[in-house]
């Protein structure tokens, strides 16, 4: 079960506020605030929509009440100073 702490942490990682997440999930701001504060047991459908929005945006929920950005496995090399790093990467 995802906790309110995880949802708040996920919002912080994504840089979105409670209103943006609530709108994306199709629930009210008050409902999301209550879920985050554990003020009431959320409806399964509401929690599923919130989790769905967060995972679509790259959040991964981990064991032990954790949250992190999902790794894409892609490394981006930008700028002339990263040219040598790119060749080192290819060589490895």
Name which residue leads in pLDDT, 84 or 3.
Answer: 3
In a domain, 33, yes or no: yes
Round the average pLDDT of the chain to a whole number and report it: 89
Q: What is the pLDDT of residues 59-71, one digit of tens each?
A: 999 888 899 988 7
- φ/ψ of residue 62, rounded to 5: -115, 165
In a domain, 29, yes or no: yes
The domain containing residue 48 runs over which residues?
4-69
Alpha-carbon distance of 26 to 28, in angstroms, equals: 7
In a domain, 91, yes or no: no
Q: What is the pLDDT of residues 1-17, one digit of tens each?
A: 889 999 999 999 999 99
pTM over 0.85: no
In a domain, 85, yes or no: no
Q: How many domains does the structure of the chain reveal?
A: 1
**CATH code of 9's domain:** 1.10.260.40
In a domain, 23, yes or no: yes
């Amino acid at each position: 079960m995802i906790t309110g702490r995880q949802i708040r942490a996920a919002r912080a990682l994504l840089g979105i506020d409670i209103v943006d997440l609530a709108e994306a999930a199709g629930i009210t701001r008050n409902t999301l605030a209550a879920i985050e504060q554990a003020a009431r047991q959320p409806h399964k459908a509401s929690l599923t929509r919130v989790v769905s929005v967060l995972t679509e945006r790259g959040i991964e929920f981990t064991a032990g009440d954790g949250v992190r950005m999902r790794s894409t496995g892609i490394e981006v090399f930008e700028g002339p100073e990263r040219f040598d790093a790119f060749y080192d990467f290819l060589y490895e």
